[in-house]
Structure 1
Amino acid sequence: MLAKRIIPCLDVQHGRVVKNVRFFEDHRDAGDPLVLAQRYEAQQADELVFYDITATHEGRHLMLDVAARVAEQVMMPLTVGGGVTSLADFRRLLLAGADKISLNSAAVRGPELVRQASDHHGAQCVMLSIDAKRRPDHQSGGEGWNVFVGGGRTDTGLDLLRWAEEGQRLGAGELCLNIMDADGTRAGFDLAATRAVAQAVDIPVIASGGAGKLSDFGDVLRGGSDGGQADAALAASVFHFGELSVPQVKAYLHAQGIAVRPEWHDPARLEQIGTRG
């Protein structure tokens, strides 16, 4: 069984980590990016994701200084996104120390950038990040999700599942799915949306938005018809503000029979970390 990944996410605005609810509500400062990155390295997070959450909306360029500063101090893989519009941007961020580059708005506006980046740098470097929001689907009598860009400000009208399938076809190595309705609410991941995307594509799917308790991670990473079927879970506020730690989440998942990295087999360590939540 492939191990599931736990990925803290740092939303960066003007050099500080911030966290909002549903993208625009309840703005909170969470600290310095480097300090948080070092904390998550010590906690043995599998990866770290940085998003410059207003770069595209404000027309700013890349946060190369933040990427370089963090890459010098931590060894875990880094994904950086926000304001990426060209292959030259990919090169600059990779040279600054990023391992993967996240594309969102630029991919929707120019899908061939996904193909070009995959061809030039390899699919493993290309993460397609998708911000989506639930919509009433009157034609099917059920519900679906639309893709948003510009930091969640613009509804593209694109259907989530069709865009996920297109992203795979273009050469993205993995998808990061952020459901805006759940973002920052701590009410749990959107299992239906995550499961639908995981079933629609063959590349890894990272679930994002809504983590609030330990069981939320188990639910979204679990297989089967009632699980989210995700390959990784990304979270922000529950880690930044100390409600949960990465070791707690991994210990809980191990106890639930879900494979994680590294192996959490030491009973004394599990007892020390605790599995409450």
Structure 2
Amino acid sequence: MLTKRIIPCLDVKDGRVVKGVNFKGLVDAGDPVEIAAVYNRMGADELVFLDITATVEGRDTICHVVEEVAAQVFIPLTVGGGIRTVADMKKMLRAGADKVAINSAAVKNPDLITEGARIFGSQCIVVAVDGKKREDGAGWNVYTHGGSRDSGIDLIDWVREVEMRGAGEILLTSIDADGTKKGFDLEMTRAVAEVVNIPVIASGGAGSLNDFVEVLTRGKADAALAASLFHFGELTINQVKAALVKAGVSVRQIG
């Protein structure tokens, strides 16, 4: 049985970790380098670093901060935000990232997934997908630019293409659930997990220990990502893993 992963996420704006609700109302949560070091000690399985305004502001990812974070962690590090070309991918991997996450750029130019997978290997390419329920309730659309633009692309069609083009993982965020602490979007996560054969990381909505259990069992996710719950000390990774073990979910033990 494959172990399920618990992944803290550093949403970074202007060099600081921030957290909001439904991608809005951002609140400062601390220094990314310090927080990364804490998660490394706490037993996180991986770490995701997202420069959340790089694409909207049309700039590159803050490379020096990535280098400092990478120096503090000895677990896989995924970096995303503002990665638009293969050259950008190479830059982040050289800065210390183990994987790169692409989102808006992949929607604009799907060949970027194919090229990245060919050059660096599928294991390095994570496609971040931000999904939101359509108003008629019939499925979900893919959003870009930090959740601000509706691409008009059907979520299920897109994740199938992402896998076909060679992505190694999908980082799936529910815009509807993001930051609400009302639970992961089990319906959307399961719908995606059932149509692809690559790992799905569920993101958006974690609020309790049971939420992690639910998304990794009923939601069929391979990993669960959270931010504010961990940043503000409401739950520890130890507590989450203990709850998963109690529920019969296989995880990498701490210590």
TM-based fold match above 0.5: yes
Q: How does 1:52-71 map to 2 (within 5 A)?
A: 52-71=51-70
SS across alignment from 2:179 = coil
1:244 to 2:235 alignment: yes
CA RMSD of aligned residues (A): 1.0
Q: Which residue of 1 aligns with 2:247?
A: 256
Query: What's the CA shift string for 1:54-102, capped at 9, x where partnerless?
Result: 1000011121111100111211110000000101001110010000000
Contact residue 43 and residue 254 of structure 2 kept, 8 A: no
1:208 to 2:208 alignment: no
For 2:10 and 2:121, the matched residues in 1 are separated by 24
Moved over 3 A (4+): none
For 1:82 and 1:179, the matched residues in 2 are separated by 17
**Gapped runs of 5+ residues in structure 1?**
265-277
Larger Rg: 1
Q: Which residue of 2 aligns with 1:44?
A: 43
1:230 to 2:221 alignment: yes
Structure with the greater relative contact order (CA < 8 A, sep ≥ 6): 1 or 2? Answer: 2
Q: Which residue of 2 aligns with 1:5?
A: 5
For 1:192 and 1:132, the matched residues in 2 are separated by 12
Contact residue 136 and residue 144 of structure 1 kept, 8 A: no
Q: Which residue of 2 aligns with 1:150?
A: 145
> How far has the Cα of 1:262 moved from its partner?
2.1
For 1:240 and 1:254, the matched residues in 2 are separated by 23
Q: Which residue of 1 aligns with 2:86?
A: 87
TM normalised by structure 2 equals 0.98
Query: What's the CA shift string for 1:22-75, capped at 9, x where partnerless?
Result: 0013x2110000111011011110000010101000011121111100111211
For 2:224 and 2:36, the matched residues in 1 are separated by 17
> How far has the Cα of 1:263 moved from its partner?
6.6
SS across alignment from 1:69 = helix
Q: Of residues 184, 209, 232 in structure 2, which corresponds to 1:189?
A: 184
Query: What's the CA shift string for 1:112-133, capped at 9, x where partnerless?
Result: 0000000000000000000111
Equivalences, count: 255
For 1:62 and 1:136, the matched residues in 2 are separated by 33
**Paired letter, 2:243:** Y
Contact residue 51 and residue 62 of structure 2 kept, 8 A: yes
**Paired letter, 2:246:** A
For 2:235 and 2:105, the matched residues in 1 are separated by 33
Contact residue 238 and residue 254 of structure 2 kept, 8 A: no
**Paired letter, 2:91:** R
